[in-house]
Structure 1
Amino acid sequence: MAAVVRLDAPGCVTITEEPDPPLHATGVRLRTLFSGISAGTELTQYRGTNAHVVKTWDPGTRLFTAGRPEFAYPAVVGYEEVGEVVEVGDDVTAVRPGQVVWGVWGHRATTVVEQDYAAARVLDPAADPVLGIFSHIGAVALNVVLDADLHVGETAVVFGLGVLGQIVAQLARRNGARVVAVDALADRLELAGRLGADVALHAGEGGVAERVRRLTGGRGADVALEVSGNPKALHEAVRTVAYNARVVTGGFYQGEARGLFLGEEFHHNRVDLVCSQISGVAPRHAHRWDRARLNATVIDLAVAGHLRLRPLVSHVVPFTDAAWAYELLDTRPDQALQVVLGFSGTDGHDHRHGDE
């Protein structure tokens, strides 16, 4: 039997066990080292606000409809995992025990994957294993920046400096943009500046659009990247960009978009509103970019030191403290950024902003 972290109902996290999956001839058994908790999609499942919890997604019509939700409790969630190969099937030649593999298999102590899956996701042995948890959220960030179509010398404003926003800001700067980072939490603004943002603006002081216009000689930003999931931030992002400029939305908005006024700057400035969502790559990129390339690119950049991801980890806690970890992210976001569940004796309490 293997331990799993399970959502039994909104706000209810339990630790239970499930049978170890059998190992087949081409299978690779992984022992989880770390599993990151997503403060975006995963928290919507924890809160019970995710659209998939209350409605049915029809893949044929690509519409949400009333009916039995496709997401049902209890459920094992999670999509930011890294583990060690501990056993391989008789026909496996591509990986060996002891190698570290990143991927998606949920908050569970062990799993079995196909050897091709594992072989494509082997982490550099010299790298910090925790970097492996960023493959998915990093891919989301990279997709946002691809959708933004940034150019050297442009001004990009990033709204929301959670894990996603911190990675978006770094990628935008690597694309040659001058990055303006916006958030309502002072610690996150300080971290963004330390990781390379050119300007940090506190959203609580108001007038973000006006301040950005002063920074750009009255023109406004070339692009805004809204990744907070807050409709009020989306409205300010629309106000912040120049005439006929782009706003890329990567945030996961919940409920009604209260605070968004589409009859104002959006209408009068012909703002181009672009949705970025990890389930699809923009058609102009799709023949070259897919999910696997997005994932691998982020890990390669992190291992090479071009993306500084280790400082985003605010806490590493034992998986047995999962209920506390979810509650922390849900109710005290000012005290946490990337919270990681440690498995297999790799954990420790309250490790904040670790060294790179």
Structure 2
Amino acid sequence: MGRLVRFSSPRAAEVVDFDEPSVENGEVRLETLFSGISAGTELTAYRGSNPYLSNEWDAARRLFVPGESTHAYPLDAWGYEEVGRVVEIGAGVDPDLEGALVWGTWGHRSSIVRPAQWVRERIMPEGLDPILGIFAKIGAIALNAVLDADIHVGETAVVFGAGVPGQIVAQLARLNGARVICVDLVRERRQLAETLGASLALDPTAVDVAERVRALTDNRGADVVIEMSGSYHALNEAIRTAAYSSRVVAAGFFQGPATAIRLGEEFHHNRVSVVGSQISGVAPALQHRWNELRMSTTALELARDGKLDLQSLITHTMPAENAPSAFEMLDTSPQAALQVVLDYRSRA
């Protein structure tokens, strides 16, 4: 028997048993070492606000439509930040895979069976701490936003939201040659952003961000703004902060109807472009070279090479059996943690 995290109803998480499938030809079994909790996407499922729970996603037309919801409670093994070790191989699989460390997406569960080819493409970079494998997909999400931002050397990039994806975006934007300014409500997150290389971190309750950025840029405004918080108020401020005829990348997961978006003001008068960024696709001009697998691999290789600090983003590591309390903490006290990691090794 294995163990997985189940959302039985809104704001109710538990750890339950599940039957582990057998390993067939061409497959391997991965034993999970760590899984990371996404404090954005996963909390929408935990809280019950995720649009897949109230609408049907029509994949062919790429529309949410009324009808049966795509997902319903109980939700088993929700999550996308995992790393594990190959502990069993099926017939026809090269024995060199046994024992390999692998990153991927299989949710909060103690084990998973996956095709050997899928696993081979996701072997951890040699020399990288295994726990950092949990950042593969969130690293891809952040890198996708930076690719959509089209940042150039010498530009000023403002990042709204200094949670895990925002911290990674800020570091990647700096690697692209930008001066980076972070905006967040939480003091500790602002301090971390500056420690990791941001030129400045602003508290939006203490300063008018748009005015401060213009004061720092000869009244131009930000060359590009990346919104990672999923706050409509922050999106409106991101639009106010952007320079004339420049770009706002909206990569946060917004919930519910839009509020506080004043489209008749700076958006209209400054010809601001708002670009949606989501991991299901890459900018058309880059699709012949970039995909999610390359973005994830790139993020982990940058961490291995010391160019991207992911270790500093981990604030809590706890046994996987404590997952219910971890979700409760992230839901009720989001300022108390940044990246929470579940550790499955105690079951070994």
Matches of 2:242 and 2:3, distance apart in 1? 48
Corresponding residue number in structure 1 for 2:26: 26
Deviating more after overlay: 167-176 vs 88-97 = 88-97
Q: What secondary structure is seen at the aligned counterpart in 2 of 1:205?
A: coil
Work out whether residues 329 and 336 of structure 1, in 8 Å CA contact, stay in contact via their aligned partners in 2: yes
1:125 CA displacement: 4.2
Matches of 2:118 and 2:124, distance apart in 1? 13
Q: What secondary structure is seen at the aligned counterpart in 2 of 1:204?
A: coil
Q: Which letter does structure 1 place at the counterpart of 2:129?
A: D
Work out whether residues 97 and 120 of structure 2, in 8 Å CA contact, stay in contact via their aligned partners in 1: no
Deviating more after overlay: 185-194 vs 83-92 = 83-92
The 5 A counterparts of 1:190-205 are 190-205=191-206
Corresponding residue number in structure 1 for 2:237: 236
1:56 CA displacement: 1.0
Post-superposition CA distance 1:122-150 (Å, at most 9, x none): 11342211110001111000000000000
Is residue 108 of structure 2 the alignment partner of residue 87 of structure 1? no
1:98 CA displacement: 2.1
Corresponding residue number in structure 2 for 1:153: 154
Corresponding residue number in structure 1 for 2:165: 164
Corresponding residue number in structure 2 for 1:173: 174
1:189 CA displacement: 0.4
Is residue 64 of structure 2 the alignment partner of residue 64 of structure 1? yes
Q: What secondary structure is seen at the aligned counterpart in 2 of 1:224?
A: strand
Matches of 2:336 and 2:52, distance apart in 1? 28
Q: What secondary structure is seen at the aligned counterpart in 2 of 1:151?
A: coil
Structure 2: gaps (5+ residues): none
* Runs of 4+ deviating beyond 6 Å: none
Corresponding residue number in structure 2 for 1:286: 287
Q: Which letter does structure 2 place at the counterpart of 1:266?
A: F
1:346 CA displacement: 8.6
Q: What secondary structure is seen at the aligned counterpart in 1 of 2:134?
A: helix
Matches of 2:50 and 2:84, distance apart in 1? 28
Matches of 1:121 and 1:12, distance apart in 2? 32
Corresponding residue number in structure 2 for 1:38: 38
Deviating more after overlay: 199-208 vs 217-226 = 199-208
Q: Which letter does structure 2 place at the counterpart of 1:40?
A: G
The 5 A counterparts of 1:1-356 are 1-76=1-76, 77-93=78-94, 95-345=96-346
C-alpha RMSD over aligned residues: 1.2
Work out whether residues 31 and 86 of structure 1, in 8 Å CA contact, stay in contact via their aligned partners in 2: yes
Work out whether residues 30 and 87 of structure 2, in 8 Å CA contact, stay in contact via their aligned partners in 1: yes
Work out whether residues 100 and 125 of structure 1, in 8 Å CA contact, stay in contact via their aligned partners in 2: no
Work out whether residues 89 and 95 of structure 2, in 8 Å CA contact, stay in contact via their aligned partners in 1: no
Q: What secondary structure is seen at the aligned counterpart in 2 of 1:179?
A: strand
Work out whether residues 125 and 300 of structure 2, in 8 Å CA contact, stay in contact via their aligned partners in 1: no
1:206 CA displacement: 3.0
Post-superposition CA distance 1:100-142 (Å, at most 9, x none): 1000111110111111111111113422111100011110000
Deviating more after overlay: 41-50 vs 198-207 = 198-207
Post-superposition CA distance 1:195-254 (Å, at most 9, x none): 111111111213000000011011101000000000000001000011101000000000
Q: What secondary structure is seen at the aligned counterpart in 2 of 1:252?
A: coil
Structure 1: gaps (5+ residues): 348-356
1:291 CA displacement: 1.2
Deviating more after overlay: 329-338 vs 84-93 = 84-93
Work out whether residues 94 and 119 of structure 1, in 8 Å CA contact, stay in contact via their aligned partners in 2: no
Work out whether residues 151 and 176 of structure 1, in 8 Å CA contact, stay in contact via their aligned partners in 2: yes
Matches of 2:256 and 2:344, distance apart in 1? 35
Matches of 2:225 and 2:189, distance apart in 1? 18
Matches of 1:132 and 1:121, distance apart in 2? 10
Work out whether residues 95 and 115 of structure 1, in 8 Å CA contact, stay in contact via their aligned partners in 2: no
Q: Aligned pairs, how many?
A: 347
Work out whether residues 99 and 125 of structure 1, in 8 Å CA contact, stay in contact via their aligned partners in 2: no
Compute the TM-score of the two structures, normalised by the length of structure 1: 0.95
Q: What secondary structure is seen at the aligned counterpart in 1 of 2:30?
A: strand
Matches of 2:235 and 2:303, distance apart in 1? 29
Q: What secondary structure is seen at the aligned counterpart in 2 of 1:176?
A: coil
Deviating more after overlay: 67-76 vs 54-63 = 54-63
Post-superposition CA distance 1:168-193 (Å, at most 9, x none): 00000000000001101100000001
Q: Which letter does structure 2 place at the counterpart of 1:115?
A: A
Q: What secondary structure is seen at the aligned counterpart in 2 of 1:284?
A: helix
Matches of 2:66 and 2:27, distance apart in 1? 39
Matches of 2:237 and 2:201, distance apart in 1? 15
